[in-house]
Amino acid sequence: MNRVWKQFPASESIAQRLALWSSHSEFGFCFRGDGWGAKNGNDCKVLAGAGMFSTYSGALNTASDFIDHANDYVFSSLGYDLKNSLEKLSSENALSIEIDALVLCIPKIVVFEKDKEISIGIRSEILPEITHSEVLQQIESVETFDITQKVSTPHFKWTREQFVTKIKEAKKYIQLGEIYQANICQEVIWSEAQIDPASLFNLGFESNPNPFSVYVRLQDKHILSWSPERFLSFDDRKVLSQPMKGTAPRGVTKQEDELHKKELAQSEKDRRENVMIVDMVRNDLSHFAEKNSVKVPELYKIDTYPSVYQMHSTVISTLRPKVPQFDVLLKAFPMGSMTGAPKIRAMQIIDNLETSSRGIFSGTIGLFTPDGKADFNVVIRTLIYDRNKQLLSAHVGGGITALSDEESEYEECLVKLEPIQKLLYEIEK
C-alpha cells in the first residue's frame, strides 16, 4: 500500500460533509453508524472514500487474491443474485435498477474521523497533483444541496391481497416439509423521482441513525442504506455474525412501548424464526472454522431503534489458518436472515414467489481494511436511486414460518417501510 496520511482537526459537521463529498465522485462510499468496526476495536464515527484507483472485474475464485494483494482499503458490495454464481440457481424476475452483482474497489482517497480528528489518506502515486490540505478544503466547502425534492406516490408491486396470497403459498411449502422458513419480499417503486441522494441519506440518518448505514455512488446509481443489521465482521481470524429476525413497532406511550418490547421478547414465532437462522449461520461458519470454535454468546437479544424493536443473536467462530476472509463471506452468502432454511430450497421458492429481482437488496455492503479487519452489513431499510431513470426502489418483507399470520406479516412490512415513507413525505413538504 502506498497511501500517505495526514491528520487535521475535524469539524462538527464532518460526517454529513463526507457523505456529500463522496457523492461528487463517480465512485464513492460513506460508512456511518456506531456499528461499523465496533466489535473489532475500530471506533471511528464515519469513513468515506472517493475516486476509484482500482476495481475488480474478474472471476469469483480470484477475488480473494485481489483483496490480499491490495493491502489497502477495499470497498465492496455483493448483490443478492450473486447467489446464481455460487449455487445452481437462476432468477427470471425483472430488475428495476441494475447494479453489478460484485463490486470490489480501492479508493484513491480515504477519509475517516476519530477522536475529533480527520485522517486523510491519498494514493500519492495516483494523485501526485493534490495535497491533503486541498482535499480537506474540498470536504469543508462541499455544497449542501436543497433537500426540497420531488417524489411520486409509491407503487407497491403487490396489493395487500396479493401479498397475503404469497404468504399462504410460502406456508404451503412449509407444511409440505420442503422448508422451515422463507423470507418473502416485495418491491416498492417511486417513479419520476428527483432527489439529491447524499443529502437524503444524511437526513435519513438523522432520524434513523442505524448502526450499519452506508451511502454508495456507483456512477448514476446510488444506494442509501440505513441498515440496523451486521452480516459478518472479521478481526484477523475472529469472525462474528449477528442475524436479526423478529420486528415489533415502537409504542406511542411508554406503557405501549414496553408492551411491544415484551411481546417481541416472548414471541414463539419470532424466537423460532431467529433460532432457525442462528443454526444456519452456525453451519455456514463451521465450513472454515477451527474445531469447536463456533459459539452463540447471545440469543434473542432485543435492540431498540427509533421506530422498531429488533431481535438479534450473535454467532462467533475462529477461522482456520490461511483461510481468506472473502471465501468465508461467499460461503455464508446470501445471509440466512434474508433467505430461509434450508437455504438453497428457500431461495428457489423465493424466486418462484417473488415478482421483482432483489438486486442489491438482501445483499451486503462493507469494507476490508489493510490491518486484517472487515465488516459487512445486511442491505435492508434501503433506497436505490437511478438518476438517469429518475427511479427510486425499495424492498420490504419478512420471515415466514408455520406460525406466521398473513395479515400481521403485511403490517410488519409497513412498519419497516414507515421510516422511509416518512422521510420521503417530509422532503415533499
Kindly list the catalytic residues: 229, 245
Q: How far apart are CA 427 and CA 146, in angstroms?
A: 10
Q: Which amino acid is at 301?
A: K
Classify residue 133 by burial, with Cβ atoms within 10 Å: 0-12, 13-18, 19+: exposed
Please give the angle made by the CA atoms of 285, 290 and 296, to the nearest 5 degrees. Answer: 50
What does the alpha-carbon distance between residue 354 and residue 187 come to, in Å, rounded to a whole number? 9
Q: How do 373-377 and 117-123 pair as beta strands?
A: unpaired
Distance between CA atoms of residues 374 and 277, nearest Å? 22
Asked whether 184 and 353 are in contact (CB, 8 A), the reply is yes
CB neighbourhood size of 30 (10 A): 28
User: Per the structure block, which three cell numbers stand in for 286?
Assistant: 463451521
Residue 334 preceded by cis peptide, ω within 30: yes
- What is the identity of the amino acid at 205? F
Nearest to 316 by CA among 302, 297, 303, 299: 297
Alpha-carbon distance of 225 to 18, in angstroms, equals: 15
All cell numbers assigned to 130: 493534490
For residue 414, give every residue at least 6 positions away whose Cβ sits within 8 Å of its Cβ, in sequence order, or none.
Answer: none
